[in-house]
């Protein structure tokens, strides 16, 4: 097991380094002269040169990358071009908000989608399964802003159950923000629901075909025991990986959802940064997201290996 | 239409290809010759898709939107950008089927003309990504060694970035426009396609007939083209259909976020976000483009699922 963990960790570090290199190339090298991006078109040549020296832009690219990465790792994430505030404070505050939203989403989505997937899988090719499967297939591709607008129309504007706007003030706690979190979390749930349900169903269907299920049934075990004791243990294993992957899905989805509901999370901050061409802000948000995503994947892999010894030996 | 034509024609080469059919049929002369045969293939593929209600519905929806994209200018009564004098904020009527928006533009015309925009962008992006991804995936996997190792480490890291985030980062740097959205689609999807292709190639490489071809002294290019590519086509067709559906999704989302296609183009996602401030005055300007996106995406998903059942039977989900 420890060899497996070490290998996964090394793999994680390589992936993160390569990803940071991609982010660096995209944000530092692709835009051309960063000094001009900051100072604008009318800036004088001496001012540009001074800023280039200050930012280290006159040094060779590999050196720039290393010092950029070093500063990032030591917690110096730079100053936001558009607001003049330290990037780290901005990003970490918004990250907290996004975490609240993601947490509530997972709390609703995971039990619900696993339940639906298991039901659909056990009733494979019966009307109930067809309903769940086609329903999830239809919803799986709906862009989050369409789902979100439908929910706003029905639950906020017609039934007045929840507020349509989720622009909470900085420093609002989870329970205080809860009413405003519900609609965005439900929207995100739809995105995950369809995806996780489909894959859970596939796992259950696959497992129900195995020989040991027939053996257990033929030796007279009640169906509940066959399913609960034998099938689900195996069928739900891949769901762990699926959940980790859907976490990345969730991150992407949250960018749109936060914009639909005006929720002050990382996604909203990202579109703000793009509007203002605020490169340090964009870098920090991307790197933080990638880190969280990669850690979630690692966690899922390790959990999977802990539960399924066959993996470790490969 | 290219994507659809591609899907359907390449698919049949597989389903029919039990033992007798020539693996090179995708490129050989006889294939080009048989235009009539191609039509009957498309017909058969459509019949298979229409055999199940769900995929029949999906295929119909997709065909309707393709029809809209092809003949949009003939169907739309107004231009997409014309601000009709004195006709702002009108409710749906016979004059304006879907009403008019806050600027007095005919929503029906904008929705119809927008079909071409999104299908062309998503379709071209998918086609480019699938072509490049297939070439990279096939050659790199067949060659193996350090080229394969390095390119796939790099692809894995690109995949470590959620697609929308990568798209936003790129668009934030290069600036939003139609062509940058196209480039972004290709960059985001090439690694995914290449991965799928690579995994199929890696398992095909071990097969006896590839070994035999190599012993006969055939060149790498010829082996990849004639022996490996045919075994990749079913998975690739399904992958292309899936990519197409995600591409539509991504284009619409980027439009909604205001970093994709720019105004005054009739991009559905953009139309939705522009209509939001006026939702209480002109709800129709928001709902019709949103419904169009929903129907198109559902259609492509159902059709793609149908294709998967036909081409890759036995593989669930």
B60-73 mean pLDDT: 90
Nearest to B230 by CA among B251, B214, B212, B209: B209
pLDDT value, residue B11: 38
Instruction: Classify burial at B21, counting beta carbons within 10 Å of its beta carbon; exposed 0-12, middle 13-18, buried 19 or more.
Output: middle
Tell me the chain B residues in contact with residue A256 when contact means C-beta distances shorter than 8 Å: 164, 253, 256-257
Tell me the per-residue pLDDT of A179-217, one tens digit each, with 9 for 90 and over. Answer: 888 899 999 888 788 778 878 888 888 888 888 888 888
Residues 6+ apart with CB under 8 A from A217: A223, A226
pLDDT band with cut points at 50, 70 and 90 for residue B122: very high
Instruction: Report how far apart the first and last C-alpha atoms of chain B are (Å, whole number).
Output: 26
Task: Give the model's confidence band at B296: pLDDT under 50 very low, under 70 low, under 90 confident, else very high.
Answer: very high
Q: Do B160 and A198 touch (CB under 8 A)?
A: no
Closest CA to B118 of B237, B279, B246, B288: B246
- Find the range with the poorest average confidence among A47-51, A280-284, A294-298, B28-32: B28-32
Note the ipTM here: 0.82
- pLDDT of amino acid B2: 38
- The mean pLDDT of chain B is 80
Q: How far apart are the C-alpha atoms of B233 and B229, rounded to whole Å? A: 6
Instruction: Report chain B residues whose CB lies below 8 A from the CB of A15.
Output: 153, 156-157, 160
- Show contacts of A90-94: CB within 8 Å, 24+ apart: A90/A269, A90/A281, A91/A266, A91/A269, A91/A281, A91/A284, A91/A285, A91/A288, A93/A170, A94/A264, A94/A265, A94/A266, A94/A268, A94/A269
Is A101 an interface residue toward B (CB < 8 Å)? no
Identify the band that residue B124 occupies on the pLDDT scale cut at 50, 70 and 90: very high
Interface of A with B in 175-214 (CB under 8 A): 198-199, 201-202, 205-206
The yes-or-no verdict on residue A152 having pLDDT over 60 is: yes
Residue B308 above 50 pLDDT?
A: yes
Residue owning tokens 């917690």: A75
Q: Which residues on chain A are in Cβ contact (under 8 Å) with B242?
A: none
Taking the C-alpha atoms of residue B189 and residue B158, their distance in angstroms, rounded to an integer, is 10
Return the structure tokens found at B1.
């239409």
Q: Does B297 touch chain A (CB under 8 A)?
A: yes
* Range of weakest confidence among A200-204, A248-252, A253-257, A269-273: A248-252
From B173, B300, B316, residue closest to A26, measured CB to CB:
B173
Radius of gyration of chain A measured on its C-alpha atoms: 24
pLDDT tier, B61 (very low <50, low <70, confident <90, very high otherwise): very high
Query: Can you tell me whether residue A1 is helix, strand or coil?
Result: coil
With an 8 Å Cβ cutoff, is A95 touching chain B? no
pLDDT class of B33 with cuts at 50, 70, 90 = low
Could you tell me which residue, A242 or B302, shows the higher pLDDT? B302
**How many pairs of residues across A and B have Cβ atoms under 8 Å apart?**
130
Residue B41 has pLDDT above 80, yes or no: no
The CB-side HSE value for B240 (13 A sphere, CA atoms) comes to: 29
Higher-pLDDT residue of A241 and A69 is A69
Report the pLDDT value the prediction gives residue B5, as an integer from 0 to 100.
34
Please tell me the predicted confidence (pLDDT) of residue A248.
66
Q: Tell me which residues of chain A, numbers 272 to 311, contact chain B at a CB-CB cutoff of 8 Å.
A: 273-275, 277, 279, 282, 286, 289-290, 293-294, 297
Note whether A145 contacts B298, CB cutoff 8 Å.
no
Closest CA to B276 of A165, A101, A158: A165
Do A22 and B171 count as a contact with CB atoms less than 8 A apart? no
CA distance B59 to A11: 42
- Residues of chain A in contact with residue B253, where contact means CB-CB under 8 angstroms, are 143-145, 256
Which of A113, A143, A301 has the highest number of chain B CBs within 10 A, making it the mutation to test binding with B? A143
A210-241 burial, b if ≥16 CB within 10 A, otherwise e?
A: eeebeebeeeeeeeeebbeebbbebbbbbbbe
Is the backbone peptide bond immediately before B271 cis, with ω within 30 degrees of 0? Answer: no
Question: CA triplet A234, A240, A242: central angle to 5 degrees?
Answer: 110
The mean pLDDT value for B127-142 works out to 88
Average pLDDT of span A227-249: 76
Tell me how far apart the alpha carbons of residues A99 and A258 are, in angstroms, rounded to a whole number.
Answer: 12
**How many CB atoms sit inside 10 A of residue B177's CB?**
14
Determine whether the interchain pair A271/B258 forms a contact, defined as Cβ–Cβ distance below 8 Å: yes
Classify domain B59-84+93-315 at the CATH superfamily level: MetI-like (1.10.3720.10)
Domain boundaries, chain A: 2-73, 94-307
pLDDT, position B34: 64
pLDDT tens digits, residue range A66-120?
888 888 888 888 888 888 889 999 999 998 888 889 889 988 988 888 888 888 8
Question: Does residue B157 belong to the interface with chain A, where contact is any CB pair within 8 Å?
Answer: yes
What digits encode the pLDDT tens for the residues A153-185? 888 888 888 888 878 888 778 888 888 888 999
* Best residue in A34, A250, A274, A280 for a mutation probing chain B (most B CBs within 10 Å): A274
Is the pLDDT at A29 greater than 50? The verdict is yes
Can you give the pLDDT at residue A226? 83
The partner residue sitting opposite A141, judged by closest CB among B154, B273, B297, is B297
Which chain B residues contact residue A23 at CB under 8 A? 169
Please give the torsion angle defined by the CA atoms of residues B194, B199, B201 and B207, in that order, rounded to the nearest 10 degrees.
180
Taking CB atoms and an 8 Å cutoff, what residues of chain B touch A282?
Answer: 169, 172-173
Half-sphere exposure of B162 (CA within 13 A, CB side): 30
Architecture of the A94-307 domain: Orthogonal Bundle (1.10)
Dump strand ranges (E) for B34-122: none
pLDDT of residue B182: 93
Position with higher pLDDT, B31 vs A273: A273
- Report the distance separating Cα B85 and Cα B75, nearest Å: 21
Residue of A nearest to B254 (CA): A256
Residue B35: predicted pLDDT: 67
Which range of A69-83, A292-306, B122-136, B239-253 scores highest in mean pLDDT? It is B122-136
Could you give the 3-state DSSP secondary structure of residue B106?
Answer: strand
More reliable by pLDDT, A113 or B15: A113
- Tell which of B122, B169, B195, B277 to mutate to test the A interface (max A CBs under 10 Å): B169
Q: Please, which pLDDT band fits residue A11 given cuts at 50, 70 and 90?
A: confident
Burial of residue B106 (number of CB atoms within 10 Å: 0-12, 13-18, 19+): buried
Confidence of residue B310 (pLDDT cuts 50, 70, 90): confident
From first CA to last CA, the distance across chain A in angstroms is 11
Nearest-Cα residue of chain A relative to residue B291 = A146
Instruction: Tell me which residues of chain A, numbers 126 to 165, contact chain B at a CB-CB cutoff of 8 Å.
Output: 134, 137-138, 140-146, 149
Q: What is the pLDDT averaged over residues A9-33?
A: 83
Alpha-carbon span B283 to B281, nearest angstrom: 6
Q: Is there a contact between B133 and A220 (Cβ–Cβ < 8 Å)? A: no
Owner of token pair 């692709």: A30
B57: chain A residues, CB-CB within 8 Å:
none
Best mutation site among B173, B176, B275, B292 for testing chain A: the one with the most A CBs within 10 Å?
Answer: B173
The model's pTM: 0.81
Chain-chain contact of B170 with A145 (C-beta, under 8 angstroms): no
pLDDT, greater one: B160 or B121: B121
Instruction: Check CB contact under 8 Å for A198 and B294.
Output: no
Q: Which residues contact A39 (CB under 8 A, 6 or more apart)?
A: A47, A48, A51
Tell me whether A13 touches chain B (CB under 8 Å): no
Alpha carbons B133 and A148: distance in angstroms, whole number: 33
Mean pLDDT within A242-259: 78
Give the per-residue pLDDT at B26: 53
């Amino acid at each position: 097991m420890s060899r497996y963990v070490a290998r996964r960790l090394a793999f994680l570090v390589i992936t993160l380094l390569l990803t940071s290199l991609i982010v660096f190339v995209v944000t530092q090298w692709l835009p051309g002269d960063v000094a001009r991006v900051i100072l604008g078109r009318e800036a004088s040549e001496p001012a540009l040169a001074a800023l280039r020296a200050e930012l280290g832009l006159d040094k060779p690219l590999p050196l720039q990358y290393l010092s950029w990465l070093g500063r990032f790792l030591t917690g110096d994430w730079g100053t936001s071009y558009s607001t003049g505030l330290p990037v780290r404070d901005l990003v970490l505050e918004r990250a907290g908000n996004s975490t609240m939203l993601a947490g509530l989403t997972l709390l609703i989505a995971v039990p619900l989608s696993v339940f639906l997937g298991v039901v659909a899988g056990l009733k494979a090719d019966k009307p109930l399964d067809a309903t769940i499967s086609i329903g999830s297939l239809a919803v799986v591709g709906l862009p989050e802003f369409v789902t979100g607008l439908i929910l706003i129309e029905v639950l906020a504007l017609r039934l007045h159950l929840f507020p349509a706007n989720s622009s909470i003030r900085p420093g609002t706690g989870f329970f205080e923000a809860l009413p405003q979190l519900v609609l965005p979390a439900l929207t995100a749930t739809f995105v995950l629901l369809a995806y996780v349900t489909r894959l859970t169903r596939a796992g259950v269907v696959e497992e129900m075909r195995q020989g040991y299920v027939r053996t257990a049934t033929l030796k007279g075990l009640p169906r509940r025991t066959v399913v609960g004791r034998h099938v689900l243990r195996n069928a739900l294993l891949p769901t762990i990986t699926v959940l980790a992957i859907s976490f990345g899905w969730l991150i992407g989805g949250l960018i749109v959802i936060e914009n639909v509901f005006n929720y002050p999370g990382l996604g909203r901050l990202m579109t703000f940064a793009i509007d203002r061409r605020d490169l340090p802000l964009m870098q920090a948000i991307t790197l933080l997201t990638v880190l969280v995503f990669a850690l979630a994947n690692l966690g899922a892999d390790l959990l999977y290996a802990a539960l399924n010894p066959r993996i470790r030996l490969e | 239409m290219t994507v659809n034509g591609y899907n359907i024609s390449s698919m049949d080469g597989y389903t029919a290809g039990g033992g007798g059919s020539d693996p090179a049929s995708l490129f050989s002369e006889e294939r080009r010759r048989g235009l009539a045969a191609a039509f009957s293939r498309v017909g058969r593929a459509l019949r298979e898709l229409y055999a199940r209600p769900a995929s029949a519905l999906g295929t119909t929806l997709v065909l309707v939107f393709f029809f809209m994209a092809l003949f949009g200018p003939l169907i739309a009564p107004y231009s997409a950008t014309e601000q009709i004098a004195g006709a702002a904020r009108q409710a749906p009527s016979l004059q304006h089927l879907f009403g008019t928006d806050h600027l007095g533009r005919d929503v029906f015309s904008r929705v119809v003309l927008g079909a071409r925009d999104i299908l062309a962008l998503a379709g071209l992006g998918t086609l480019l990504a699938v072509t490049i991804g297939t070439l990279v995936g096939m050659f790199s996997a067949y060659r193996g060694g350090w080229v394969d190792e390095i390119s796939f480490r790099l692809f894995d890291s690109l995949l470590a970035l959620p697609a929308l985030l990568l798209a936003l980062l790129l668009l934030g740097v290069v600036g939003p426009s139609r062509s940058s959205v196209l480039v972004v689609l290709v960059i985001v999807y090439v690694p995914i396609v290449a991965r799928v292709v690579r995994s199929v190639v890696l398992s095909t490489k071990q097969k006896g007939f590839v070994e035999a071809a190599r012993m006969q002294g055939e060149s790498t290019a010829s082996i990849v083209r004639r022996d490996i590519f045919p075994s990749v086509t079913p998975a690739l067709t399904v992958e292309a259909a899936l990519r197409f559906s995600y591409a539509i999704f991504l284009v619409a989302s980027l439009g909604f976020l205001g970093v994709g296609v720019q105004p005054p183009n009739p991009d559905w996602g953009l139309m939705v976000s522009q209509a939001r401030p006026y939702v209480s005055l002109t709800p129709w300007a928001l709902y019709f483009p949103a419904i169009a996106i929903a129907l198109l995406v559902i259609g492509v998903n159902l059709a793609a699922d149908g294709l998967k059942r036909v081409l890759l039977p036995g593989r669930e989900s």
